[in-house]
Structure 1
Amino acid sequence: MHIKQIELSGFKSYKDAAPSEPFSPRINVVVGANGSGKSNFFHAIRFVLNDAFVNMRADERQQLLHEGAGAAVPQAYVEIVFDNSDGRFPIVRLKGKSEVTNLLESAGFSRSNPYYIVQQGKAADRDRRALEFALLERDLSSNRKKLEE
């Protein structure tokens, strides 16, 4: 799996939508003159892939928005597109409401209390791993049944 393309808009030195050229699965080089946005490009990648930004204060997040000539930018986004053609990252597809319900119940959610609020950054790694394990367990069970048929 590798990064296929990145698009930035409103993020630091990138005011307008700026899609990157497609990346190679092997080696990529980012070059440019001083002040052309190379560091901000990599800052954007870290922004998406690193948990450090979850706990940023509002004023720190405001500094991520483009501040240059022209109208102010009210929002920003960074989109990273991955190429998973090697299948390294499994894609799980749930079929039907009962499968989704069973998966959520295996992760600790209850039918009797359908209301939950999980604040951003508050889901523990332990909880995420439990959900991933439940998905894997379900897939293994499904594959066993198919082999037995």
Structure 2
Amino acid sequence: MEEEEIEKEINEEIKIKEEKEKEEIEEEIEKEEKQIKVKEENDEIEEIKEEEEIEEEEDDIEEKDEEIKEEIEEEEEIEKEKEDEEIKEKIKEEKKEIEEDEIEEEDEEKKDENVEKDEEIEKKTEEENEIEKEEIKTEKERRMR
């Protein structure tokens, strides 16, 4: 009987030991599962964080693109206004030149008219002088006779 008891005790100890090992293995498995779960959560958080950073970078790029586009539009508008102003100035100058040319032409015409009038007056004066001379000559001749 003693042998049976010893065997029973040994079996009991083996059973306790196996139970303890089983518990330790289960705890280890549970611990690993927790670690895996925490790692997965961390990975997910990291992925979300990366996606947010990428989204933020894309937003920044889009914003910078918009700013650049606005700057280009402003520069184009300024350039267009400058060109328009240059065209207006050129038209103004051409108008002024045309007016000056017209005034010069009118002055030239008036000068020509005045020269013509002066020539006519001079011619008339010469004719009158000639007539007067003739009259004087005729009068002299008459007197002499």
With the shorter chain as reference, the TM-score category is under 0.3
Relative contact order (alpha carbons < 8 A, sep ≥ 6): 1 or 2 greater? Answer: 1
- Name the larger-Rg structure: 2
Q: What TM-score comes out, normalization by structure 1 length?
A: 0.18
The structure richer in strand per residue is: 1
The structure richer in helix per residue is: 2
Q: What TM-score comes out, normalization by structure 2 length?
A: 0.19
